[in-house]
Structure 1
Amino acid sequence: MPRIIWAGLVLALAWSGWWLWATAAAERAVERWFAERRAEGWQAEYARLDLAGYPLRFDAEVLLPALADPGTGVALTASHVGVSAPAWWPGDLTVRLPEDAITLASPEGRATLLMQAATADMELTPGNALELERLQFGAGPWSLGGPQGQVVLADDLRLAMVQDESTPQRYALSVGAAALQPGSVPRAALRVPDSWPVSFDSFALEMEVVFDRVWDRRAVEVARPQPQRIEIDLAEAVWGTLELRAAAELTVDAQGVPEGPLSLQARNWQEILGLAERSGALPAALVPQARSVLQALAAASGDPRAIDVTLTLRDGLVLLGFVPLGPAPRLVLR
């Protein structure tokens, strides 16, 4: 019996020593990371780092973090961010966001994000690169607002990003939000009638993306991986009588120009055109031309209120057959 007790004491002391060493190393790593960002010209500050969780977990809380990337002009400030992991493998991370305001700023303006029970679970490959294998993000009710009012809100938010085992640069992504609501700002800009439904009936995205490299710590420290191939299995938004669905198989060059087929379905396109016209997103001079094109697309689909076509993205343009409809968007992650 004494041998068992002594063995237990030795094991407890060894584990305690490991936990203390690992937490001290984590504290140094956080300090070094913020210092390296400042050396690169970032604003990278925090007020205090609290460590806890002994004996089975590493729990860290970063108080008053403030980050600003000079390359993109994007900045973030929050009251705190919590990070925890099991003591036997710190690569299985859980990140908890605060329920009070997170302030976001960019060259386009400032916004405030409020999220309840926002948690991200990440599985990282062992090693200094911290390669992302899996990300599961979930949140309860959330809202994004600006100086003029609410921009968007929803009852929840679900996001998943899973690495392909055979092709590490390939990730499956899915996004969903229940009761997604355009806020007062976009409703006013679109001049949405008061009788229009408050929230979307459906909002979902499922796709697979091949990037030029894997997602790892360089995505924050250096630059974001860029898409090379995009396969959209489902992109769906249903809002009242409006229904939009899309699927695509696109390749993307080094400049972010996509090429490939894009299948598009739109029901009650007249309402969509009306929203674009009332908001000013479509100049009045172009409305007759846009209506003629959409009527032709609907006629080709066999239903005057619906459009079901396959467009082609090529040479920087969106084409219907041989007819150019406009420039293709550039797909670049900043």
Structure 2
Amino acid sequence: MRKLISLIVVMAGLWGGYWFVGSSQLEKGFKDYLAKELGPDDPIRLSYSDLTVQGFPNRFDTRITDVDLTNTINGIRWQAPFFQIYALSYKPYHIIAALAPQQVVTLPKQEFTIKSEMIRGSVVFLPKPLFSGDVIIDRSSFEMVNVTAASDKGWETTISKGNLALRQTPTKPLFYDLAISAQGIDLPDQLRALIDPAHQQSALFDSFKLDSTLGLSNPLDLTADRGEHPKVTEIEVKDLTIHWDDIRFLAKGTLQIGTDGYPVGKLDLTAVNWQKMYELADQSGAVDPDFAPTIQNGLKVLAGMSEGEDVIEIALNFADGQMSLGPFPIGPAPRLY
């Protein structure tokens, strides 16, 4: 019995020593990293009043207080009373981050106060590379519940639930599966007045869902220099669905991203209840009256080539830095970098 008690005491002492050494190194590492990466000479600046690591004996709980993060180039600023990072002391490669229930985001011409029931994320790093010096993301998730963003311009919007999940694609190290969803988006009055001035649709936007896979030039390594951050080389949209009352918009397809940053490929688009979409565009002033009959006739022709009068199916093509909707050119393609 004495030997067992002695063994327990020794193990407890070793574990306590591990925690205190680990927590002090973690705290010092955080402070050194932030001072190095976001110092006073950097265009992205961070200030805080305190940074501590607690959670003895089974967790490393890092709390940063009075966070103020500013991008001096574009004038974007984020302020929060605290930011917390949690990790089990026996599983340090899996961390959970939680945001304060109220934050302030400042843009060059607008300020938002963000309140939430919950905003939380988690990241799991590859264990082996972690100990070799690299910090490569294996999977990550982000979720929020009942988030309200109120602008100093007098409008606000609410999202009842949102999720983002990212994971390294099995057997393909440079590919990541990305899924994003949002439900119950309460459209602000100003935006609704622009896209639905006659109030034909509900003020509550039903849902947005994206299931995709991204190809990257490099792994998602947090230790990489800024110039080595990965670039997107491929976008596979397996399912993009937007649902608003009786309107549905769907897309799927694959785009290759060239070295010039322009996409090449096509997305197959499906518009359900296209007549209502046209009415909304017309009432919002997006349709030129001189071309309205031509546009309507063209849409009817496309519907006749699809699976029913209410459905239009057409390809959105990307090539040579330009976009075309079916055979019709519509302008320059977006450039990713």
TM-score above 0.5: yes
Q: Give the whole-Å Cα distance in 1 for the aligned partners of 2:309 and 2:185.
A: 28
Q: Give the whole-Å Cα distance in 1 for the aligned partners of 2:291 and 2:157.
A: 28
How many residues end up aligned between the 2 structures? Answer: 331
Does residue 19 in structure 1 map to residue 24 in structure 2?
no
CA offset digits 1:194-217 (Å, max 9, x no partner): 452132333211000101212221
Give the alignment's TM-score, normalised by structure 1: 0.89
For 1:13, the aligned partner's letter is: G
In 1, are the aligned partners of 2:198 and 2:283 still within 8 Å (CA)?
no
Deviation at 1:49, TM superposition (A): 1.4
Judging changes above 3 Å, is the alpha-carbon distance between structure 1 residues 136 and 328 closer, same or farther for their aligned structure 2 residues?
A: same
Deviation at 1:121, TM superposition (A): 1.7
In 2, are the aligned partners of 1:34 and 1:45 still within 8 Å (CA)?
no
2:88 alignment counterpart? 86
- RMSD of Structure 2 on Structure 1 (CA): 2.5
Give the alignment's TM-score, normalised by structure 2: 0.88
Deviation at 1:50, TM superposition (A): 2.9
Within 5 Å, give how 1:140-219 maps onto structure 2: 140-150=145-155, 152-217=157-222
Does residue 69 in structure 1 map to residue 74 in structure 2?
no
1:323 alignment counterpart? 328
CA offset digits 1:31-76 (Å, max 9, x no partner): 1122111143321111111321100111111111111234554432
CA offset digits 1:264-307 (Å, max 9, x no partner): 01122233233334445556666555445434422332644321
Deviation at 1:252, TM superposition (A): 0.9
CA offset digits 1:67-97 (Å, max 9, x no partner): 1234554432111111110112311001011
Judging changes above 3 Å, is the alpha-carbon distance between structure 1 residues 62 and 290 closer, same or farther for their aligned structure 2 residues?
A: farther
Which segments of 5 or more consecutive residues in structure 2 lack a partner in the other structure? none
Does residue 307 in structure 1 map to residue 312 in structure 2?
yes
Judging changes above 3 Å, is the alpha-carbon distance between structure 1 residues 294 and 113 closer, same or farther for their aligned structure 2 residues?
A: farther
In 2, are the aligned partners of 1:168 and 1:214 still within 8 Å (CA)?
yes
In 1, are the aligned partners of 2:248 and 2:271 still within 8 Å (CA)?
yes
Aligned pair partner of 1:97 in 96, 99, 102? 99
Judging changes above 3 Å, is the alpha-carbon distance between structure 1 residues 237 and 219 closer, same or farther for their aligned structure 2 residues?
A: farther
CA offset digits 1:99-137 (Å, max 9, x no partner): 12x222345643333222222121012243321111122
1:110 alignment counterpart? 111
SS across alignment from 1:118: strand
Does residue 245 in structure 1 map to residue 250 in structure 2?
yes
For 1:61, the aligned partner's letter is: R
Judging changes above 3 Å, is the alpha-carbon distance between structure 1 residues 226 and 118 closer, same or farther for their aligned structure 2 residues?
A: same
In 2, are the aligned partners of 1:148 and 1:185 still within 8 Å (CA)?
no
CA offset digits 1:146-204 (Å, max 9, x no partner): 22344542211111101123222211011112222222231123244345213233321
For 1:252, the aligned partner's letter is: I
Q: Give the whole-Å Cα distance in 2 for the aligned partners of 1:87 and 1:2.
A: 28
2:239 alignment counterpart? 234
SS across alignment from 1:79: strand
In 2, are the aligned partners of 1:204 and 1:234 still within 8 Å (CA)?
yes
Tell me which moved more, 170-179 or 279-288: 279-288
For 1:230, the aligned partner's letter is: I
2:45 alignment counterpart? 43
SS across alignment from 1:165: coil
Which segments of 5 or more consecutive residues in structure 1 lack a partner in the other structure? none
Judging changes above 3 Å, is the alpha-carbon distance between structure 1 residues 176 and 302 closer, same or farther for their aligned structure 2 residues?
A: closer
In 1, are the aligned partners of 2:97 and 2:122 still within 8 Å (CA)?
yes
